[in-house]
Amino acid sequence: MGRKGEQFDTSWARTPAAGVAREIIVNYTLGPLIDHYTKPITLGGGLFDALKPPVIFVANHSSHLDTPSILRALPRPWRQHTATIAAADYFYQNRVIAGLVTLSFATVPIERKGGVSKTTSDRIDRLVKDRWNLLLYPEGTRSRDGQLARLKPGAAFMAIANDLPIVPIYVSGTYEAMPVGRGWPRKHPVAVRFGAPIHPQPGEQHRALSHRVEAGMLEMRDEWRPSA
């Protein structure tokens, strides 16, 4: 579909019926597979007791296992109102795959080059107005070595423009379980760690906010790692 992938209508994936189907896919189709191979644990989940939506979740990205692992780690009410920002040039080249990914993870396509288009900007504004959370991978692509790359500023732009907190997430173990190029996971423990919300400060520039988020993710990475 080329750049038209960004134009793919995803609103149907946020209907109640699609939400029910997504719960079945994430918890009862992908869930047993993920549990068998990764035995995932969640750390820092207590922050949701005091947190109010919408927020922007920002996570490191090493594997196709990251999104289902993060969604399953979210409390159900949060999971049911979280949209995943996905690469239009990767997932939206084929309509069948685009539809499946959209249904499974409530994805919203965005072009990774050329800046944020008006289509994407309007879509994000609508999601925030409807109190949907956003899950972003600001490295821009999956890591080829499992290390965190420099974050691109898109998430910080969105946070500042919409006055939303960023909740940093660090996922450990998915690179070892299913790195780029591997078509099926191997057994390795996975942990999803949620960090304290990072709020944009008055007058803060997007690069400064992005650096703060990156520092928080690196701190979480160094605090705990799953052992094989």
Q: Is the pLDDT of residue 48 over 50?
A: yes
Q: 149, exposed or middle or buried, with CB in 10 Å at 0-12, 13-18, 19+?
A: middle
Residue 78 to residue 75: CA distance in whole angstroms: 5
CA neighbours closer than 13 Å in the CB half-sphere of residue 134: 30
Q: What is the pLDDT confidence band of residue 21, given thresholds at 50, 70 and 90?
A: very high
Q: What is the pLDDT confidence band of residue 204, given thresholds at 50, 70 and 90?
A: very high
Q: What is the pLDDT of residues 98-153, one digit of tens each?
A: 999 999 999 998 876 655 567 777 888 899 999 999 999 999 899 999 999 999 98
Mean local confidence (pLDDT), 179-203:
95
Beta-carbon contacts of residue 223 (< 8 Å; ≥ 6 apart): 193
Q: Which domains does the chain have, with CATH numbers?
A: 2-223 (3.40.1130.10)
Q: What is the pLDDT confidence band of residue 164, given thresholds at 50, 70 and 90?
A: very high
| Residue 55 three-state SS | coil
Beta-carbon contacts of residue 47 (< 8 Å; ≥ 6 apart): 167, 194, 196, 197
Chain CA centroid to CA 210, Å: 16
**pLDDT at site 2:** 45
Q: Could you give phi then psi for residue 61, rounded to 5 degrees? A: -140, 115
pTM of the predicted structure, to 2 decimals:
0.92
> Which has more pLDDT, 7 or 131?
131
**pLDDT at site 228:** 55
Q: What is the pLDDT of residues 60-78, one digit of tens each?
A: 999 999 999 999 999 999 9
Q: Is the pLDDT of residue 226 over 80?
A: no
Mean local confidence (pLDDT), 147-175:
94
